[in-house]
Amino acid sequence: MSRYFAPASTGNLSVGFDLLGAAFEPTDGQALGDELAILGEGDALELSVSGRYVHQLPADLNDNLVAKCFYAFEQAVGRTLPRLRLELVKHLPVGSGLGSSACSIVVALYAFNQHFGRPLSDQVLLQLMAELEGGVSGSVHYDNVAPSFFGGLQLMLQDSPQICRSLPWFDHWRVVLCYPGTVLSTKAARAVLPQQLSLKHSIAFAGMLSRFVSALYSRDEQDALAALQDLVAEPARRSLMPELEPLRAALMAEGVGHVGISGAGPTIFAVCRNEQQAQFAASYLQTQYAKNQDAMTVVCRLAQQGARALQDQDTGLSRCN
Protein backbone atom coordinates (compact mmCIF):
# COMPACT_ATOMS: atom_id res chain seq x y z
CA MET A 1 0.00 0.00 0.00
CA SER A 2 1.21 3.56 -0.67
CA ARG A 3 -0.26 6.71 0.82
CA TYR A 4 -0.21 10.25 -0.50
CA PHE A 5 -1.11 13.68 0.85
CA ALA A 6 -1.81 17.14 -0.59
CA PRO A 7 -2.25 20.31 1.53
CA ALA A 8 -5.12 22.79 1.73
CA SER A 9 -4.76 26.06 -0.13
CA THR A 10 -6.07 29.62 -0.06
CA GLY A 11 -6.78 30.93 -3.54
CA ASN A 12 -6.44 34.64 -4.42
CA LEU A 13 -4.80 35.65 -1.12
CA SER A 14 -7.07 38.70 -1.53
CA VAL A 15 -4.81 40.65 -3.88
CA GLY A 16 -4.29 38.10 -6.67
CA PHE A 17 -7.67 36.93 -7.93
CA ASP A 18 -7.10 33.62 -9.79
CA LEU A 19 -3.34 34.43 -9.93
CA LEU A 20 -2.05 33.86 -6.41
CA GLY A 21 -2.48 30.93 -4.06
CA ALA A 22 -0.79 29.58 -0.93
CA ALA A 23 -0.62 26.14 0.68
CA PHE A 24 -1.03 26.09 4.45
CA GLU A 25 -0.34 23.61 7.26
CA PRO A 26 -1.38 23.81 10.92
CA THR A 27 1.46 24.72 13.29
CA ASP A 28 0.38 21.95 15.68
CA GLY A 29 1.09 19.19 13.16
CA GLN A 30 -2.50 18.23 12.36
CA ALA A 31 -3.39 17.27 8.79
CA LEU A 32 -5.08 19.98 6.75
CA GLY A 33 -5.40 18.33 3.37
CA ASP A 34 -6.63 15.12 1.77
CA GLU A 35 -4.99 11.69 1.93
CA LEU A 36 -5.25 9.00 -0.72
CA ALA A 37 -4.12 5.41 -0.27
CA ILE A 38 -3.50 3.09 -3.21
CA LEU A 39 -4.31 -0.30 -1.72
CA GLY A 40 -3.51 -2.32 -4.83
CA GLU A 41 -4.57 -3.11 -8.40
CA GLY A 42 -7.74 -4.97 -9.40
CA ASP A 43 -10.28 -5.59 -12.20
CA ALA A 44 -12.45 -2.59 -11.40
CA LEU A 45 -11.85 0.85 -9.93
CA GLU A 46 -12.78 0.74 -6.24
CA LEU A 47 -13.00 3.76 -3.98
CA SER A 48 -13.79 3.91 -0.29
CA VAL A 49 -14.08 7.20 1.57
CA SER A 50 -13.60 8.21 5.19
CA GLY A 51 -12.53 11.25 7.21
CA ARG A 52 -14.18 14.11 9.11
CA TYR A 53 -15.87 15.62 6.05
CA VAL A 54 -16.87 12.38 4.31
CA HIS A 55 -20.57 13.30 4.81
CA GLN A 56 -20.10 16.32 2.51
CA LEU A 57 -18.97 14.18 -0.44
CA PRO A 58 -21.35 13.02 -3.21
CA ALA A 59 -23.14 9.79 -2.26
CA ASP A 60 -22.36 8.14 -5.60
CA LEU A 61 -18.64 7.27 -5.63
CA ASN A 62 -18.60 7.64 -9.42
CA ASP A 63 -19.25 11.36 -8.86
CA ASN A 64 -16.19 11.63 -6.64
CA LEU A 65 -13.42 13.66 -8.24
CA VAL A 66 -10.92 10.92 -7.42
CA ALA A 67 -12.75 8.53 -9.78
CA LYS A 68 -12.98 11.25 -12.45
CA CYS A 69 -9.27 11.89 -12.05
CA PHE A 70 -8.46 8.24 -12.71
CA TYR A 71 -10.24 8.21 -16.08
CA ALA A 72 -8.83 11.63 -17.04
CA PHE A 73 -5.34 10.40 -16.13
CA GLU A 74 -5.80 7.25 -18.20
CA GLN A 75 -6.91 9.31 -21.18
CA ALA A 76 -3.94 11.66 -20.81
CA VAL A 77 -1.53 8.72 -20.64
CA GLY A 78 -3.16 7.26 -23.75
CA ARG A 79 -3.35 3.57 -22.79
CA THR A 80 -5.60 1.33 -20.73
CA LEU A 81 -4.36 1.19 -17.14
CA PRO A 82 -4.93 -1.45 -14.48
CA ARG A 83 -7.79 -0.41 -12.17
CA LEU A 84 -6.88 0.61 -8.62
CA ARG A 85 -8.30 0.02 -5.15
CA LEU A 86 -8.33 3.44 -3.49
CA GLU A 87 -9.18 5.01 -0.17
CA LEU A 88 -9.73 8.76 0.17
CA VAL A 89 -9.50 10.32 3.64
CA LYS A 90 -11.40 13.58 3.34
CA HIS A 91 -9.92 15.97 5.90
CA LEU A 92 -11.06 19.13 4.08
CA PRO A 93 -14.61 20.49 4.08
CA VAL A 94 -16.25 20.74 0.65
CA GLY A 95 -17.29 24.14 -0.75
CA SER A 96 -15.24 25.80 1.97
CA GLY A 97 -12.74 28.08 0.24
CA LEU A 98 -9.86 25.83 1.32
CA GLY A 99 -9.30 24.35 -2.13
CA SER A 100 -11.05 21.12 -1.19
CA SER A 101 -11.84 19.93 -4.71
CA ALA A 102 -8.37 20.95 -5.89
CA CYS A 103 -6.82 19.04 -2.99
CA SER A 104 -8.55 15.76 -3.92
CA ILE A 105 -7.65 16.30 -7.58
CA VAL A 106 -4.01 17.03 -6.77
CA VAL A 107 -3.51 14.12 -4.40
CA ALA A 108 -5.21 11.72 -6.82
CA LEU A 109 -3.34 12.75 -9.97
CA TYR A 110 -0.04 12.96 -8.10
CA ALA A 111 -0.60 9.46 -6.66
CA PHE A 112 -1.59 7.94 -10.02
CA ASN A 113 1.42 9.46 -11.75
CA GLN A 114 3.76 8.09 -9.07
CA HIS A 115 2.11 4.68 -9.10
CA PHE A 116 2.37 4.28 -12.87
CA GLY A 117 6.02 5.37 -13.13
CA ARG A 118 5.60 9.10 -13.78
CA PRO A 119 4.39 9.04 -17.41
CA LEU A 120 3.29 12.71 -17.19
CA SER A 121 5.59 15.68 -16.57
CA ASP A 122 4.79 18.08 -13.73
CA GLN A 123 3.61 20.71 -16.22
CA VAL A 124 1.23 18.31 -18.01
CA LEU A 125 -0.01 17.01 -14.68
CA LEU A 126 -0.64 20.55 -13.42
CA GLN A 127 -2.60 21.40 -16.58
CA LEU A 128 -4.71 18.29 -16.12
CA MET A 129 -5.34 19.24 -12.48
CA ALA A 130 -6.48 22.72 -13.53
CA GLU A 131 -8.80 21.31 -16.23
CA LEU A 132 -10.47 19.02 -13.70
CA GLU A 133 -10.78 21.88 -11.22
CA GLY A 134 -12.28 23.99 -14.01
CA GLY A 135 -14.89 21.28 -14.55
CA VAL A 136 -16.04 21.77 -10.94
CA SER A 137 -15.84 25.55 -10.57
CA GLY A 138 -16.92 26.53 -14.08
CA SER A 139 -13.62 27.98 -15.30
CA VAL A 140 -9.98 26.94 -15.29
CA HIS A 141 -7.94 28.57 -12.53
CA TYR A 142 -4.64 27.41 -11.08
CA ASP A 143 -4.55 29.24 -7.76
CA ASN A 144 -5.54 26.17 -5.71
CA VAL A 145 -4.04 23.30 -7.70
CA ALA A 146 -0.61 24.96 -8.09
CA PRO A 147 0.10 25.57 -4.36
CA SER A 148 -1.47 22.24 -3.38
CA PHE A 149 0.81 20.49 -5.90
CA PHE A 150 4.06 22.42 -5.36
CA GLY A 151 3.55 23.93 -1.87
CA GLY A 152 4.46 27.50 -0.91
CA LEU A 153 3.05 30.74 -2.28
CA GLN A 154 2.57 30.42 -6.03
CA LEU A 155 2.12 33.20 -8.59
CA MET A 156 0.55 32.16 -11.91
CA LEU A 157 2.61 33.28 -14.89
CA GLN A 158 0.45 34.44 -17.78
CA ASP A 159 1.21 32.57 -21.04
CA SER A 160 4.42 31.09 -19.65
CA PRO A 161 5.21 27.40 -20.20
CA GLN A 162 6.29 27.29 -16.54
CA ILE A 163 2.68 28.14 -15.49
CA CYS A 164 3.61 29.28 -11.96
CA ARG A 165 6.53 30.31 -9.76
CA SER A 166 7.16 30.34 -5.98
CA LEU A 167 7.29 33.71 -4.26
CA PRO A 168 9.09 34.64 -1.04
CA TRP A 169 7.09 34.80 2.21
CA PHE A 170 7.51 36.08 5.75
CA ASP A 171 8.23 32.97 7.77
CA HIS A 172 7.07 34.49 11.05
CA TRP A 173 3.59 35.17 9.63
CA ARG A 174 0.86 32.96 11.00
CA VAL A 175 -2.37 32.56 9.04
CA VAL A 176 -5.57 31.72 10.86
CA LEU A 177 -8.14 29.88 8.76
CA CYS A 178 -11.71 29.85 10.07
CA TYR A 179 -14.27 27.75 8.23
CA PRO A 180 -17.74 28.49 9.69
CA GLY A 181 -19.21 25.09 8.80
CA THR A 182 -21.50 26.31 6.02
CA VAL A 183 -21.06 25.53 2.33
CA LEU A 184 -20.54 28.09 -0.44
CA SER A 185 -20.00 26.57 -3.86
CA THR A 186 -17.16 28.07 -5.87
CA LYS A 187 -19.34 27.99 -8.97
CA ALA A 188 -22.02 30.08 -7.22
CA ALA A 189 -19.41 32.50 -5.85
CA ARG A 190 -17.96 32.90 -9.36
CA ALA A 191 -21.40 33.61 -10.83
CA VAL A 192 -21.56 36.96 -8.99
CA LEU A 193 -18.21 38.21 -10.34
CA PRO A 194 -18.07 41.17 -12.72
CA GLN A 195 -17.64 40.13 -16.36
CA GLN A 196 -15.59 43.22 -17.18
CA LEU A 197 -13.28 45.64 -15.39
CA SER A 198 -12.77 49.24 -16.46
CA LEU A 199 -9.31 50.38 -17.54
CA LYS A 200 -8.89 52.27 -14.25
CA HIS A 201 -9.92 49.19 -12.27
CA SER A 202 -7.62 46.88 -14.28
CA ILE A 203 -4.66 49.14 -13.63
CA ALA A 204 -5.48 49.29 -9.92
CA PHE A 205 -5.67 45.46 -9.75
CA ALA A 206 -2.38 44.98 -11.61
CA GLY A 207 -0.80 47.74 -9.52
CA MET A 208 -1.84 46.26 -6.17
CA LEU A 209 -0.65 42.76 -7.11
CA SER A 210 2.66 44.18 -8.34
CA ARG A 211 3.02 46.15 -5.11
CA PHE A 212 2.49 43.00 -3.05
CA VAL A 213 5.01 40.95 -5.06
CA SER A 214 7.54 43.77 -4.94
CA ALA A 215 7.08 44.13 -1.16
CA LEU A 216 7.74 40.41 -0.69
CA TYR A 217 11.03 40.64 -2.59
CA SER A 218 11.97 43.86 -0.77
CA ARG A 219 11.19 42.26 2.60
CA ASP A 220 8.85 45.20 3.34
CA GLU A 221 6.31 43.56 5.63
CA GLN A 222 4.22 46.69 6.23
CA ASP A 223 3.84 47.38 2.53
CA ALA A 224 3.05 43.72 1.80
CA LEU A 225 0.24 43.75 4.36
CA ALA A 226 -1.05 47.09 3.07
CA ALA A 227 -1.17 45.68 -0.46
CA LEU A 228 -3.36 42.72 0.49
CA GLN A 229 -6.47 44.31 -1.02
CA ASP A 230 -9.04 42.48 -3.11
CA LEU A 231 -10.22 44.88 -5.80
CA VAL A 232 -11.90 42.21 -7.96
CA ALA A 233 -13.81 39.46 -6.16
CA GLU A 234 -14.50 40.79 -2.68
CA PRO A 235 -16.69 43.74 -3.72
CA ALA A 236 -18.94 41.30 -5.61
CA ARG A 237 -18.86 38.59 -2.93
CA ARG A 238 -19.37 40.83 0.09
CA SER A 239 -23.12 40.21 0.02
CA LEU A 240 -22.48 36.43 0.28
CA MET A 241 -20.37 36.98 3.42
CA PRO A 242 -21.91 39.86 5.44
CA GLU A 243 -19.85 38.90 8.53
CA LEU A 244 -16.54 39.71 6.83
CA GLU A 245 -16.52 43.50 7.37
CA PRO A 246 -17.30 43.53 11.12
CA LEU A 247 -14.89 40.64 11.79
CA ARG A 248 -12.15 42.37 9.83
CA ALA A 249 -12.73 45.68 11.63
CA ALA A 250 -12.58 44.00 15.05
CA LEU A 251 -9.44 41.97 14.32
CA MET A 252 -7.53 44.74 12.56
CA ALA A 253 -8.32 47.09 15.46
CA GLU A 254 -6.32 44.60 17.58
CA GLY A 255 -3.36 44.78 15.20
CA VAL A 256 -4.02 41.77 12.97
CA GLY A 257 -2.25 42.39 9.64
CA HIS A 258 -4.98 41.42 7.21
CA VAL A 259 -8.36 39.67 7.08
CA GLY A 260 -9.83 38.39 3.83
CA ILE A 261 -11.85 35.69 2.05
CA SER A 262 -10.02 32.39 1.56
CA GLY A 263 -10.67 31.38 -2.05
CA ALA A 264 -14.34 31.87 -2.84
CA GLY A 265 -15.33 31.64 0.86
CA PRO A 266 -16.91 31.12 3.28
CA THR A 267 -13.56 30.49 5.08
CA ILE A 268 -11.97 33.70 6.36
CA PHE A 269 -8.19 34.00 6.64
CA ALA A 270 -6.33 36.33 8.99
CA VAL A 271 -2.64 37.15 8.50
CA CYS A 272 -1.01 37.60 11.91
CA ARG A 273 2.41 38.99 12.77
CA ASN A 274 3.18 36.43 15.46
CA GLU A 275 1.88 33.34 17.28
CA GLN A 276 0.27 35.29 20.12
CA GLN A 277 -1.75 37.44 17.71
CA ALA A 278 -2.74 34.29 15.81
CA GLN A 279 -4.02 32.61 18.99
CA PHE A 280 -6.11 35.70 19.73
CA ALA A 281 -7.51 35.83 16.16
CA ALA A 282 -8.27 32.10 16.22
CA SER A 283 -10.25 32.24 19.44
CA TYR A 284 -12.08 35.39 18.29
CA LEU A 285 -13.06 33.87 14.95
CA GLN A 286 -14.02 30.56 16.53
CA THR A 287 -16.45 32.31 18.89
CA GLN A 288 -17.76 34.89 16.41
CA TYR A 289 -17.83 33.04 13.07
CA ALA A 290 -18.12 29.28 13.71
CA LYS A 291 -21.74 28.27 13.09
CA ASN A 292 -22.02 24.53 13.64
CA GLN A 293 -20.20 21.29 14.39
CA ASP A 294 -18.53 21.23 10.98
CA ALA A 295 -16.72 24.50 11.75
CA MET A 296 -12.95 24.44 12.06
CA THR A 297 -10.38 27.08 13.08
CA VAL A 298 -6.65 26.47 12.67
CA VAL A 299 -3.46 28.45 13.11
CA CYS A 300 -1.21 27.76 10.13
CA ARG A 301 2.13 28.50 8.58
CA LEU A 302 2.94 28.37 4.89
CA ALA A 303 3.28 24.71 3.82
CA GLN A 304 6.58 24.52 1.97
CA GLN A 305 5.84 21.00 0.76
CA GLY A 306 3.02 20.25 -1.64
CA ALA A 307 1.77 16.83 -2.77
CA ARG A 308 3.88 13.97 -1.49
CA ALA A 309 4.06 10.31 -0.60
CA LEU A 310 3.58 9.61 3.10
CA GLN A 311 6.08 7.45 4.91
CA ASP A 312 5.04 4.84 7.48
CA GLN A 313 5.93 7.19 10.34
CA ASP A 314 3.49 9.81 8.95
CA THR A 315 0.60 7.98 10.61
CA GLY A 316 0.81 10.90 13.08
CA LEU A 317 -1.16 13.03 10.61
CA SER A 318 -4.32 13.50 12.63
CA ARG A 319 -7.47 15.31 11.61
CA CYS A 320 -8.23 18.93 12.43
CA ASN A 321 -10.88 19.59 15.07
Ligand X SMILES: Nc1ncnc2c1ncn2[C@@H]1O[C@H](COP(=O)(O)OP(=O)(O)O)[C@@H](O)[C@H]1O
Ligand Y SMILES: N[C@@H](CCOP(=O)(O)O)C(=O)O
Among 25, 143, 230, 234, binds ligand Y (CB under 6 A): 143
Q: Give the span between the Cα atoms of 7 and 34, in whole angstroms.
A: 7
Which residues pair with residue 33 across a beta bridge? 7
**Nearer residue to ligand X within complex by CB, 26 or 95:** 95
Residue 25 or 133 with smaller CB distance to ligand X: 133
Residue 298 β-bridge partners: 177
Give the C-alpha separation, 59 to 12, whole Å. 30
12 contact choice in ligand Y, ligand X, none (CB below 5 to 8 Å, kind-dependent): ligand Y
Contacts (CB under 6 A) with ligand X, residues 56-85: 57-58, 63-66
CB 269 within 8 A of CB 225: no
User: Does residue 234 touch ligand Y according to CB under 6 A?
Assistant: no
Q: How far is the CB of 244 from ligand X (least distance, A)?
A: 17
Tell me which residue of 91, 94, 38, 93 sits closest to 69, measured CA to CA. Answer: 38
User: Applying CB under 6 A, what is the total number of residues that bind ligand X?
Assistant: 21
Q: Binds 185, which of ligand Y, ligand X, none (CB < 5 to 8 A, cut-off by type)?
A: ligand X
Q: Which of 299, 43, 263 is nearest to 141 (CA)?
A: 263
Shortest separation between residue 211's beta carbon and ligand X, angstroms: 27
Query: What is the C-alpha to C-alpha distance for residues 156 and 15, in angstroms, rounded to an integer?
Result: 13
Minimum distance from residue 11 beta carbon to ligand X (Å): 8
> Is 85 in contact with 286 (CB distance < 8 Å)?
no
Nearest to 263 by CA among 34, 53, 5, 16: 16
Using the rule CB under 6 A, is 231 a contact of ligand Y?
no
**Does 103 belong to an annotated binding site?**
yes
Nearest-CB residue to ligand X? 100
Interacting residue with ligand X among 9, 14, 101, 113 (CB under 6 A): 101
Considering only 112-120, 149-157, 183-191, 305-313, which stretch makes contact with ligand Y by CB under 6 A?
A: 183-191
Give me the 88-107 binding string for ligand Y, x by CB under 6 A, dash otherwise.
Answer: ---------xxx--------
Among 104, 186, 277, 297, binds ligand Y (CB under 6 A): 186
Region of 91 (left: φ > 0; alpha: ψ -120 to 50; beta: rest) is alpha
CA dihedral over 12, 125, 166, 178, signed as positive or negative: positive
Is residue 11 within 8 Å of residue 18, measured between CB atoms? yes
CB atoms within 10 A of CB 316: 9
Task: Provide φ and ψ at 260, rounded to 5°.
Answer: -150, -175
Pick between residue 51 and residue 99 the one whose CB is nearest to ligand Y. Answer: 99
* Residue list for the binding site: 93-103
Binding site for ligand Y (CB under 6 A): 11-12, 17-18, 97-99, 137, 141, 143-144, 186, 189-190, 233, 263-264
* Residue list for the binding site for ATP: 93-103
Binding site for ligand X (CB under 6 A): 57-58, 63-66, 94-97, 99-102, 104, 136-137, 185-186, 263-264
